[in-house]
Amino acid sequence: MIKNHNISFRFLLVFLLYLLLPVSCIDKLDFVGETKEGQLVIYGLFTDINERQVVNVSQTTATGLAPKGVPNAQVSLLTSSGGKHRYFSIGNGDYELYGVFAVEGQSYALEVVLDDEVYLSKYETVPTLVAEDVLSFAFVNEPFRSEAPESVFTVYSETTLPATRDPIYLRWAVEETYIWPLVYLPGTGFPPPVPPPCFISDVIEPNRLNLFDGSGTSTRRTKLVLAKRMVDNSFLYPFFVSVKQLSINREAYEYWEKIKIVINNQGSLFDIPPAPVFGNIANVEDPNETVLGYFEVAKTKVTRIYTLRADVPFYLVDPCQFFPNKPDDSYAAECKSCNARAQGRRWTNDAPDWWKFD
């Protein structure tokens, strides 16, 4: 028995050695690798509706930073018939083209000239089919950003595809626009002007890619979740959701599928390993130069839906409610400035022409 006790004591000593070995938990990592700066990124979308056609030209920067806009490029739209339309730089690498829009069945390419280098996309043909979207929304309590239930606003689309066996590839971009009245503070003028409201716009869930491949299915009517966001005081006033359905060609669909794989990669056992995604734009003189981005053409359909405060089943607090005796400087900045409220989102004081509700 004595011997057994001695052994047990030694076992305990040995076991304690294990406990001294390092134990740690790591969740967030920091990979500092070789950053490739200066890679050219060109993205352009050319649609068939009479709207502002936009191209963005930028360069990659160090990992973790936003890409740097390239404002001094010459950007042109090429048509298959030999036409050429010049985009105009509006700064920050954005280029605009007005009054020109795509015609279904026609092909277009993008040309970007930068520092004597010519970058040219492949000619892309505008699809002829488009689907019908019927939008709806719901406010529910469910896990969203965390495992705990949260107040979530969800946008759905009941989409009907054309009754044809021709392939159709769809992508949806969902944007919100809400009105934000600034607090009316008497005494800041005579007569005190009513501050114009802010119309603030942003993409909902920018990293959600809504794609549908209508080529391998007989489904012609389907209900899709297009976007989700947290419910906050943006819903105090009319809140519009604009859904832009883009009917794209197969190559563009495959490009976005790869982008979706890359941005949705969760590192799981079953994830497809990530890789760089290359598009349809290349340097004419040096095909080996890496050019990121894509030029896509799309047949487009825009559908909108809106919510009012009465639709929201959750209690919302108005941070900018006016109280006569409340000092002016005690109101939050977002109550006095559109810029402060927008926090980097797009905003304007002019109501969009479609801003109509009951």
**Binding-site member from 78, 224, 305, 316 for other proteins (CB under 8 A):** 224
Determine the longest span between alpha carbons in the chain, in angstroms: 100
Taking contact as CB under 8 A, which single stretch among the options 35-43, 127-135, 193-201, 324-332 is the one that binds other proteins?
Answer: 35-43
Q: Say whether residue 1 binds other proteins (CB under 8 A).
A: no
Structure tokens, 136: 């709806």
The amino acid present at 218, given as its one-letter code, is S
312 exposure class (CB count in 10 Å sphere: 0-12, 13-18, 19+): middle
162 exposure class (CB count in 10 Å sphere: 0-12, 13-18, 19+): middle
Q: Say whether residue 211 binds other proteins (CB under 8 A).
A: no
Q: Say whether residue 203 binds other proteins (CB under 8 A).
A: yes
CB of residue 212 to other proteins, shortest distance in Å: 8
Give me the residue label for tokens 């095909």. Answer: 287
Nearest residue to 177 (alpha-carbon basis) of 235, 135, 240, 237: 240
Q: Say whether residue 340 binds other proteins (CB under 8 A).
A: no
Taking contact as CB under 8 A, which single stretch among the options 60-68, 125-133, 232-240, 324-332 is the one that binds other proteins?
Answer: 60-68
**Binding-site member from 261, 305, 312, 316 for other proteins (CB under 8 A):** 261
**Binding-site member from 1, 2, 26, 333 for other proteins (CB under 8 A):** 26
Return left, alpha or beta for 208; rule: phi > 0 is left, psi -120 to 50 is alpha, else beta.
beta
**Binding-site member from 47, 48, 57, 60 for other proteins (CB under 8 A):** 60
What are the beta bridge partners of residue 78?
84, 109
Q: Say whether residue 210 binds other proteins (CB under 8 A).
A: no
* Cβ-proximal residues to 236 (8 Å cutoff; 6+ apart), any chain: 309, 316, 318
235 exposure class (CB count in 10 Å sphere: 0-12, 13-18, 19+): buried
CB of residue 308 to other proteins, shortest distance in Å: 26
**Binding-site member from 63, 141, 160, 321 for other proteins (CB under 8 A):** 63
Q: Say whether residue 212 binds other proteins (CB under 8 A).
A: yes
Question: What are the distances in angstroms from CA 26 to CA 29, 264, 269, 273, 336?
Answer: 7, 21, 19, 22, 42
Q: Say whether residue 33 binds other proteins (CB under 8 A).
A: yes
Taking contact as CB under 8 A, which single stretch among the options 53-61, 126-134, 301-309, 334-342 is the one that binds other proteins?
Answer: 53-61
Q: Say whether residue 329 binds other proteins (CB under 8 A).
A: no
Is the CB of 24 or the CB of 325 nearer to other proteins? Answer: 24
Structure tokens, 111: 């040309």
Q: Say whether residue 135 binds other proteins (CB under 8 A).
A: no
CB contact at 8 A, 81 and 69: no
CB contact at 8 A, 338 and 280: no
**Binding-site member from 22, 91, 189, 191 for other proteins (CB under 8 A):** 22
Query: Restricting to residues 277-296, which ones interact with other proteins according to CB under 8 A?
Result: 277, 288, 292-294
Query: Restricting to residues 155-174, which ones interact with other proteins according to CB under 8 A?
Result: 173
Q: Say whether residue 223 binds other proteins (CB under 8 A).
A: yes
